[in-house]
Amino acid sequence: MKFRVAAMLAAVASTLTVLGVLAPGAATAATAPGARAVTASACTMADRVDASGVRVRTAPNLSAAAVGQLSAGTEVTANCYSVQGAKYTACGFTESWWVVLLYAGHWRYSPAACYTPLASLRWT
């Protein structure tokens, strides 16, 4: 399954690059659990935190350092792509998808189950 997701993401990124929507070499998504290489995104969106105490981490796993917590209702700038990392249980769900968000000037990770998209995609 990981291979199919990675292949699909690569195909979408390639198509978006050919169409001129995504800059060549732009980060799209980390594909391996624990992957940490996330750079400036060509696509961002606004997300709202759905619960209080949602932790922000340095990598998409529960053993990564928590660098902060967000309160319910907080709006954040997030990458348009979620990444697959370690499995977690949060906000009523057990899954392994993590949102990549801008926190204190750095791209960080937080459980995707705890966020709701608010706005359409913004391409830069």
* pLDDT confidence band for 26 (50 / 70 / 90): very low
Instruction: Tell me the C-alpha to C-alpha distance, in Å, between residue 53 and each of 10, 50, 65.
Output: 34, 10, 15
Q: Which residues contact 89 (CB under 8 A, 6 or more apart)?
A: none
Percentage of the residues of the chain whose pLDDT score is greater than 70: 63
* pLDDT confidence band for 42 (50 / 70 / 90): confident
Is the pLDDT assigned to residue 23 strictly greater than 90? no
pLDDT in tens, 61-103: 999 999 999 999 999 999 988 999 999 999 999 999 999 999 9
